[in-house]
Structure 1
Amino acid sequence: MRIEKNFELLPNIKSAGIILRPSSPELKEIYLKIKELFQKADIEILLEDNSANMISLKGIPLNDLCRKVDFLISVGGDGTLLSVVRKSFKYDKPVLGINLGTLGFLTDISMEQLPSFIKDLKNNIYKIDNRMMVEGSVNLNKFVAFNDIVISRKSISSMIKISAKIDGKHFNSYDGDGVIVSTPTGSTAYNLSVGGPIVYPLTEAFIVTPVAPHSLTQRPLVMPADFEIEFKIIDNQGAVVIVDGQDIYEVEQNQSIKIKIASKKAKMIHRVQRNYFEVLNEKLRWGN
């Protein structure tokens, strides 16, 4: 049996910041319960201001929150956690995901498990995963992605044409609906739905997956993370770049999108009992 070792722990935990799923004012009672549980363990809870406004309480801006707390808590699902990780990335704060629906790929702690997890947290019985992030640029816009960067056609009536380079050297041309550049964490998202491979989330690699390619010879490609990838839009209609399904940038003909590994990693707090392959089995219903 493989034993995972992770020696990174949070020293002397005193405070945590909470971000709630947007447009969900019904989460007020859940927030108050979470706050009560952590305060009983002598961990102060601060609430992000947009979340606070949503439930008619007082909060503080996210940037100030990140500076004050030891770690962040995302309350919702995988989409909420994606947003929290990206917005707080520069502050290097670990993120704990509390899942309010079915088991998530990223958020694995339920409200029922939270009391016992807080005890484990106080006793240093938890783990911190360091997940690869990618950073990209288009025109003067720079961004980071936790799951994926998608280059997609603007119009559903035509294909998009994209030229691709690795470390400045041409390696492929894509004709089809677009291209996905995924992190290992994002390999189970859009990448998986278009036939891309599942890659263990602590691996350092890019997955480049064509979407509905015109040529049957186009296949997903897994490559080491120390390469820089550049995509140039050949199509005269331009394209759109979608970051983690949340931010969208327009790209015109002959403009380029550059993608490389980010200088830092995202930090995820998990139960020591969490097993990635069990999550795959349950989410994908393997063997059923």
Structure 2
Amino acid sequence: MTRRVLIVTHGGRPEAVVALHEAVKELQDAGFEVGLHDDDLAETFGDHMAQLRTREGVAESEVVMVLGGDGTILRAAELTHGTGVPLLGVNLGHVGFLAEAEREGLHAAVQRLAAHDYVVEERGVLEVRVTLPGEDEPRVGWALNEATVEKASRERMIEVAIGVDGRPLSSFGCDGVVMSTATGSTAHAFSAGGPIVWPDVDAMLLVPLAAHALFARPLVVGPSSTFALELLQRSAGPGVLTCDGRRRIDLPAGSRVEVRRGDSPIRLARLSTAPFTDRLVSKFSLPVVGWRGRVAEDAAEAARVARQAATAAVDAAKRPDGGHPTAPDPKGE
């Protein structure tokens, strides 16, 4: 039986093109049939026909391999959401929290994939319902990282009322509000001052953006809870809702947004069993020198080696020959 991998990449980046050619060759040499997806038609909020237009070849694939950063992985998640097909991210970006392998580990990742040496992890998503003034039926969307309500006019705040589980909690003026999954806690919510939540914690976060209020702290709720946000009539300007930085809908005053746990998780192919703590140390280059024991020293050394290898891979990709790396000889010969 033929095994198939669909590749999604950022075609506008030279290093991504180099990685694409290498990935195709590696996968074909390992016996995979390879498909390419270069359609960047983003879903619009609530437009489920967009999914049908862009998902050709996804259901027949064992894995969707993503060559790029977290933004490219979020684009690929639009293809796999609701299909059960896992994503395998190879990081070509800066941080790449959602990626499972770095650029220099592409060969090893393909070999692990060929050997069925990976596990599949599920990440919860948000179901986002928007009720606009004058409309009875809500428009329904989703997000893997976050749903963000922000002011549409740079010079004007929006006035919002926040509720949890059908009960009012607070109202204030602000630049916006981020509602995120645990997966998204290291993305927009993190930059807004929210807590980092380990991905195996089944929780949702709400983080206000530049709120003009005494009580406007980040909130963490359980999987059965629902956030509600109303854009108040006294708001000085309209708002806009964006899911994962891609799917958006305009919010006039009087709009209501409800966010709860979604029913269709995103599936990620995992090659490493390292704890999330090690990922934080590596991705953020956290200082762990001084922590007692070899574990911290090993983590710091691994992070240093990963940074050097990533720099070398970028430099190699810029060479005229494309810098195609060869697999290291395990005997060192």
User: TM-score band (shorter)?
Assistant: 0.7 to 0.9
SS in 1 for 2:250: strand
Q: Contact 1:179–1:209 at 8 Å: present in 2 too?
A: yes
1:237 aligns with 2:237: yes
Give the Cα–Cα distance (whole angstroms) in 1 for the partners of residues 104 and 15 of structure 2. 18
| Equivalent of residue 203 in structure 2, options 202, 205, 229 | 205
Which residue matches 1:37? 26
Give the Cα–Cα distance (whole angstroms) in 2 for the partners of residues 209 and 101 of structure 1. 25
Which residue matches 1:193? 191
Which residue matches 1:147? 145
Indicate how the Cα distance of structure 1 residues 103 and 171 shifts in structure 2: closer, same or farther if over 3 A, else same: closer
Give the Cα–Cα distance (whole angstroms) in 2 for the partners of residues 204 and 86 of structure 1. 21
Give the Cα–Cα distance (whole angstroms) in 1 for the partners of residues 2 and 113 of structure 2. 9
Q: Let me know the Cα RMSD of the aligned residues.
A: 2.1
Which residue matches 2:99? 107
Further displaced range: 78-87 or 265-274? 265-274
Structure 1: runs of 5 or more not aligned? 1-11, 52-60
Indicate how the Cα distance of structure 1 residues 247 and 98 shifts in structure 2: closer, same or farther if over 3 A, else same: same
Amino acid at match of 1:105: F
Q: How many percent of aligned residue pairs carry the same amino acid?
A: 26
Q: Contact 2:127–2:141 at 8 Å: present in 1 too?
A: yes
Q: TM-score of the superposition, structure 2-length normalised?
A: 0.75
Q: Contact 2:146–2:179 at 8 Å: present in 1 too?
A: yes
Indicate how the Cα distance of structure 1 residues 164 and 217 shifts in structure 2: closer, same or farther if over 3 A, else same: closer
SS in 2 for 1:68: coil
Indicate how the Cα distance of structure 1 residues 46 and 287 shifts in structure 2: closer, same or farther if over 3 A, else same: same
Shift of 1:211: 0.8
Q: Contact 1:16–1:70 at 8 Å: present in 2 too?
A: yes
Which residue matches 2:178? 180
Shift of 1:183: 0.6
Indicate how the Cα distance of structure 1 residues 197 and 115 shifts in structure 2: closer, same or farther if over 3 A, else same: same
Shift of 1:159: 2.0
Which residue matches 1:9? none
| Matched pairs, number | 268
Instruction: Give CA deviations for 1:229-279 in whole Å, capped at 9, x if unaligned.
Output: 221100152211111112221111111011111102111112124432112
Bigger Rg over Cα: 2
Which residue matches 1:83? 75
Indicate how the Cα distance of structure 1 residues 170 and 130 shifts in structure 2: closer, same or farther if over 3 A, else same: same
Structure 2: runs of 5 or more not aligned? 41-52, 132-137, 289-333
Give the Cα–Cα distance (whole angstroms) in 2 for the partners of residues 117 and 26 of structure 1. 18
| Equivalent of residue 57 in structure 2, options 52, 65, 76 | 65
Instruction: Give CA deviations for 1:56-76 in whole Å, capped at 9, x if unaligned.
Output: xxxxx7412112211111111
Q: Contact 1:236–1:252 at 8 Å: present in 2 too?
A: no
Indicate how the Cα distance of structure 1 residues 71 and 13 shifts in structure 2: closer, same or farther if over 3 A, else same: farther
Shift of 1:18: 0.8
Indicate how the Cα distance of structure 1 residues 233 and 269 shifts in structure 2: closer, same or farther if over 3 A, else same: same
Which residue matches 1:267? 267
| Equivalent of residue 159 in structure 1, options 157, 160, 164 | 157
Give the Cα–Cα distance (whole angstroms) in 2 for the partners of residues 119 and 16 of structure 1. 13
1:18 aligns with 2:7: yes
Give the Cα–Cα distance (whole angstroms) in 1 for the partners of residues 95 and 78 of structure 2. 21
SS in 1 for 2:90: strand
Shift of 1:89: 0.3
Give the Cα–Cα distance (whole angstroms) in 2 for the partners of residues 232 and 84 of structure 1. 31
Give the Cα–Cα distance (whole angstroms) in 1 for the partners of residues 60 and 111 of structure 2. 22
Correspondences of 1:99-138 after superposition (within 5 Å) = 99-138=91-130
* Higher strand residue share: 1
